[in-house]
Amino acid sequence: MRLPNKLFRDYKKLLRLVNGGAVFAAIDTETTGLTPDTCRIIEIGAVLFDKTGVLDTFASLVNPGIALPSFTTELTHITDDMLSLSPPASSVLPAFIEFIGSAILVAHNAPFDLLFINKELERSGMPSMSNKAIDTLNLSRWAYPSAKHHSLQYLAAAMGIDAENAHRASDDAKTCRKIFLRCLKDTESVQKK
């Protein structure tokens, strides 16, 4: 499946976007596995923000219609019982799409989340998202080329950011937002050139 979202790569222009009043949505998904064609979303979270701060948040568990692999439960602490009464993706996605609107998406390893969301949209008979997106994994590699690692949890720990409940979509989206803003702050002098 092709990634329809345009990934933003001109990191030197990000600060201008933020200061110009752009609205962003930090997003994250938790899934049953790693392959969008055969695996499903089980949780989606988002934080809508601009230069003034957090505007709103979105969080929902998603019933995948299949039993969770044990490694997914161990990683996320999400159980089949928690998902059994949750709505399916076809019910959650319209609200999510309305929530993000035309915001610029921000995600850590963005292609993963975007491919999963777009695959679930396809399964639900809805069009793919066309929002521009920023991958904070690549942004962090640009901002901190000598860092040993660039995982969300490693960066959060290195930056003194409380990652709260790692591998839960809402909390990872909040952490992603903070890492995005920190990357911009730490590269401000480069971006003003």
Token output for 25: 């949505």
Active site residue 167: yes
- CA 60 to mean position of chain CA atoms: 13
Contact between 25 and 47 (Cβ < 8 Å): yes
Token output for 152: 């969300």
Reported as type and span, the H/E element at residue 46 is: strand 41-50
Q: Could you give phi then psi for residue 75, rounded to 5 degrees?
A: -75, -45
- First CA to last CA across the chain, in angstroms? 38
User: Any idea which residue has 């003003």 for tokens?
Assistant: 192
Looking at this protein, which amino acid is placed at residue 126?
Answer: M
d(Cα 191, Cα 189) in Å, to the nearest integer? 5
| Residue closest to 66 by CA, chosen among 34, 42, 35 | 42
User: Any idea which residue has 């730490």 for tokens?
Assistant: 186
Write out the catalytic residue numbers. Answer: 167
